[in-house]
């Protein structure tokens, strides 16, 4: 599994409510993404940044989901170029689901 960390700036004139609404608007798309295990949206009002932590089955899926078209969309919607980092994720403790997810393979 791969954890992908995505972060980008929010325009000064965009409210928290508008940021959250943009999250809601894209949530159905991410729910329909086969290799995405989990997405956690994040927002920091103090730094005016938003983004997400994604848990993917593999890095190829993450790279495919956040290609040039997606990056262009972020630039058009938020006026910002996203920063993206990837981390191996051998184990996830999920207390909400009461399970531990371990990488297989």
Residues 32-77: tens digit of each pLDDT: 999 999 999 999 999 999 999 999 999 999 999 999 999 999 999 9
Q: Are 56 and 35 in contact (CB under 8 A)?
A: yes
pLDDT of residue 103: 82
Q: In this structure, is the dihedral angle defined by the CA atoms of residues 7, 31, 23 and 25, taken in order, positive or negative?
A: positive
Closest C-alpha to 16, from 53, 41, 34: 41
Single pTM value for the model = 0.92
Q: Are 23 and 15 in contact (CB under 8 A)?
A: no
What value does the mean pLDDT take over residues 78-82?
Answer: 95
Evaluate if residue 104 carries a pLDDT over 80: no
The domain 2-102 is classified under which CATH number: 3.30.70.100, 3.40.50.300, 1.10.4080.10, 3.30.9.10?
3.30.70.100
| CA 30 to chain centroid | 9
| CA 75 to chain centroid | 15
pLDDT of residue 105: 65
Taking the domains of the chain in order of start, what are their residue ranges?
A: 2-102
């Amino acid at each position: 599994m791969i954890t992908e960390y995505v972060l980008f700036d929010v325009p000064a004139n965009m409210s928290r409510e508008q940021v959250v609404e943009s999250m809601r608007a894209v949530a159905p798309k991410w729910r329909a993404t086969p290799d995405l295990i989990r997405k956690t949206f994040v927002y920091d009002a103090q730094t005016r940044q938003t983004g997400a932590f994604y848990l993917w089955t593999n890095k190829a899926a993450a790279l495919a989901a956040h290609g040039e078209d997606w990056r262009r969309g972020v630039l058009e919607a938020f006026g910002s170029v996203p920063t993206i980092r990837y981390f191996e994720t051998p184990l996830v403790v999920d207390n909400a689901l009461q399970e531990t997810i371990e990488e297989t393979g």
